[in-house]
With several copies, the nearest count.
Chain A
Amino acid sequence: MQARIHVTLKNGVLDPQGKAIHHALAGLGFAGVEDVRQGKYLELELADQDRAAAEQQLRQMCEQLLANTVIESYAIELDGEAVA
């Protein structure tokens, strides 16, 4: 099974990396970029298993390690489908 996890900064948290990229794009002459936010992206290959169990496990991984929930949110997809 393949899981894809997006970890992004919560709204309102300053994103210096996104800002720097925005600035650099403008410097390169790319007009019309209004905002840039940078996040992390993880691909996990999981052993085949019950989908519900996998979802549960992935949520725990995010809560415990993959995201710092003080400033980050996460979104999980399992085999291409979003996990609530």
Chain B
Amino acid sequence: MTAAIIVFPGSNCDRDTAVALEAASGRAPRLIWHRETALPKVDLIVIPGGFAYGDYLRAGAIAAHSPIMREVVARAHAGVPTLGICNGFQVLTETGLLPGVLTRNASLRFVCRDVHLRVEQTDSVFTCKYRPDQVLRIPVAHMDGNYIADDTTLQELEDHGQIALRYCDADGAATAEANPNGAQRNIAGLFNRRRNVLGLMPHPERAADPHHGGTDGRALFAGLVEMIAA
């Protein structure tokens, strides 16, 4: 599998994500600087976490207009698997590849901790290695993870199985207490209609090594490698 990781000024999980991808695939991903206008032929595009352009104005807003993003959007439309983690998710909503908006956490504070996630949809290149309703423990670390969309959009997301992951408690119940940021319907991860684009707030690359204290994120990368090779 050949993967490209898009690097903006202010990205800070590019290396972490590269490490997790390399561990899963045996191949170091290519880091693509945001000023590039062309992408090499790749099997996977990843927009990593961080604070692209300081998240000034709105999280992900300025990055969404970086030169490389025109190409990323085109590839995603053409069906290339595209993964946005945390800040990457914010960038994907700002480009319109995913619907809705990620706004300031309801607590108005940055939140960094483990959360539980329920796998809602396993029929995708990203989630194929998980079981339906499997409960994962993966960290979040963000200031703007509060997902908002209008009711029509939310209903469409539900109807088309586009909700990938929801915040839940250790037993899999999607309760308000288990929601770290106030996201509507406890949405933690979202697909586009075609399910080749996934945005998620939690950081699977921080739950990919026994030293992380958990490895529940690993299957996401392993699944991608398997599906793309197939």
* A21 surroundings in chain B (CB, below 8 A): 56-57, 62
Given the known interface contacts A28-B65, A71-B101, the answer about A20 and B57 at a Cβ–Cβ threshold of 8 Å is yes
Q: Are B62 and A24 closer than 8 Å at their CB atoms? A: yes
Is B116 in contact with chain A by the CB < 8 A criterion?
A: no
The answer, among A20, A28, A68, for a CB contact under 8 Å with B56, is A20
Q: Are A16 and B106 closer than 8 Å at their CB atoms? A: yes
* A70 surroundings in chain B (CB, below 8 A): 100-101, 149
- Chain B's interface size range is 20 to 34
Is A64 in contact with chain B by the CB < 8 A criterion?
A: yes
Q: How far does the alpha carbon of A20 sit from the alpha carbon of B105 in the complex, in Å?
A: 12
Interface secondary structure of A, over-half rule: helix
Q: List 28 A-B contacts (CB under 8 A).
A: A14-B148, A16-B56, A16-B104, A16-B108, A16-B146, A17-B54, A17-B56, A17-B104, A17-B108, A20-B53, A20-B54, A20-B56, A20-B57, A21-B56, A21-B62, A24-B53, A24-B65, A27-B65, A27-B66, A27-B67, A38-B56, A38-B57, A66-B57, A68-B58, A70-B101, A70-B149, A71-B101, A71-B103
* B94 surroundings in chain A (CB, below 8 A): 68
